[in-house]
Amino acid sequence: MRMLKAQPQSMSNLALEFLILTAARTGEVIGATWSEINSGEKLWVIPGGRMKAGREHAVPLSQAAMDILEKLRHGGELRYLFRGRKYREPMSNMALLEAMRGFKQRKLLKVHAVPHGFRSSYRMWCAEATSYPRELAEFALAHVNKNDVESAYQRGTAVEKRRPMMDDWAAYCLSECNGS
């Protein structure tokens, strides 16, 4: 995150930062539209049709994620949060991967990494550095509960319980950037 923040503020770098802060998939981020954002509730609601599991997914947004959205608003509110080369189209699904490849080529990144790996980083952080329940981490990643009985009874989204977890994740991600 420190390396990302040190780079010029490009649309792909902002999208990559948003992806990290929300633990979302690339397709979810690049397809994100302003109509999915509820700024007052600090919530991003992704329709089921754009989700891997086909179910609507609500993402509580940390202040850091909201700050990215505020930067994007200054560019004018078009349909997509992260627009591509064609101003009214979404960013390419390769844009975030290419941004990371650029970091590697400039020797800023010493390991092979892909955007999806940040979801794994998020999950490891939840498991190893926090006391948040496993179920909350799985909700945040929009993973499907394979236990039929449990999933039949657990129909909620635990958004309010996930909110502090996402705030803590953002604080963790930004801790080196802020000198903490």
Distance CA 123, CA 127 (A): 6
Q: Quick check: is 172 catalytic?
A: no
Q: Choose the catalytic residue: 2, 52, 71, 134.
A: 52
Query: 10-residue block means of pLDDT along the chain (180 residues)?
Result: 83 94 95 95 94 89 96 76 81 86 68 81 95 91 63 66 96 79
pLDDT value of position 177 = 73
pLDDT value of position 88 = 76
Query: Which of helix, strand or coil describes residue 5?
Result: helix
Q: Quick check: is 87 catalytic?
A: no
pLDDT value of position 152 = 43
Q: Quick check: is 25 catalytic?
A: yes
Distance CA 126, CA 130 (A): 5
Correct CATH for 2-174 of 1.10.3720.10, 2.60.40.10, 1.20.120.450, 1.10.443.10? 1.10.443.10
Residues paired with residue 43 on neighbouring β-strands, in sequence order: 38, 60
Choose among 33, 60, 93: nearest CA to 164.
60
pLDDT value of position 85 = 77
pLDDT value of position 61 = 98
Distance CA 101, CA 95 (A): 10
Q: Quick check: is 52 catalytic?
A: yes
Query: How do the domains of the chain map onto residue ranges?
Result: 2-174
pLDDT value of position 150 = 52
